Structure formats: structure tokens, C-alpha cells
């Protein structure tokens, strides 16, 4: 069993930055690939970024490449999403997601979800 708790969301002006954190508990967390998804009002939950077990490989949606950076903390029970150059269209609830077998890029592939943290970007 893995528990995920997000933090770091908030209200920011366009062009600003936020850092989201995903703190994990559960002794098998090191076996899981971790990622972030976002869900805007009235839309499907979408893949944002993911990171491999070692942290050596990262994956991003085209819409956030060059602006967002995913990383693992030390010890590796925390995953961060650094969000720079934020745009109003980034406004959404951001969810931390974990999958054991491989990177998840679709919500149906995720084994565990966090409760979500709201990010609001004003224009």
C-alpha cells in the first residue's frame, strides 16, 4: 500500500512559479514510478510529467516541456514538480500518481492517487 500527499498548490500570477511536493509513505514506495496529472474543470485528467525509479529518466507532456521539471527528493520518498512560466491554462487540480510496473501516462494505468492540490494561475 502506498499513500500519497500533495502540497504546494496556490494562486499565482501568469509568469510566476510554484513547486508542488508529493510525499509518499509505505515501505514499498521505492518500487514505484511516480508522476503528476492535472484536471481542469470539465476536462479529463491529463498526464503532466513522470520520473523513473532512479530519477534518471523524466517524461513530460508537450504543453509543459521547458517549463516544468519533475525530480525525486533525497531520501526518495518525495517527488517534486517545479512549475515555471505558469500560464492561465495551467489552472487545474494537480494529482500525484504512482504505478509499479512502468511509467503511467494515462489515468487508467495509475495504481495509487493523491488527493490533489489546486493550482490557479491568474492572467
> pLDDT for 81-111, tens place per residue?
999 999 999 999 999 999 999 999 999 999 9
Could you write out the three-class secondary structure of the chain? CCEEEEECCEEEECCCCEEEEEEEECCCHHHCEEEEEEECCCCCCEEEEEECCCCCCEEECCCCCCCEEEEECCCCCEEEEEECCCCHHHCEEEEEEEECCCCCCCHHHCCEECCCEEEEEEC
> pLDDT for 8-52, tens place per residue?
999 999 999 999 999 988 777 778 899 999 999 999 999 999 999
Please report which confidence band the pLDDT of residue 74 belongs to, taking 50, 70 and 90 as the band edges.
Answer: low
Amino acid at each position: 500500500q502506498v499513500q500519497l500527499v500533495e502540497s504546494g498548490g496556490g494562486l499565482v500570477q501568469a509568469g510566476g512559479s510554484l513547486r508542488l511536493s508529493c510525499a509518499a509513505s509505505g515501505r514499498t514506495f521505492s518500487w514505484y514510478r511516480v508522476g503528476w496529472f492535472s484536471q481542469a474543470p470539465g476536462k479529463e485528467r491529463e498526464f503532466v510529467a513522470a520520473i523513473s525509479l532512479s530519477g534518471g529518466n523524466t517524461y513530460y507532456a508537450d504543453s509543459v516541456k521547458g517549463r516544468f521539471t519533475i525530480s525525486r527528493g533525497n531520501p526518495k520518498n518525495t517527488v517534486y514538480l517545479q512549475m515555471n512560466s505558469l500560464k492561465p491554462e495551467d489552472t487545474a487540480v494537480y494529482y500525484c500518481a504512482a504505478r509499479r510496473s512502468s511509467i503511467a501516462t494515462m489515468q487508467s494505468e495509475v495504481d495509487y492517487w493523491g488527493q490533489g492540490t489546486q493550482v490557479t494561475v491568474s492572467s
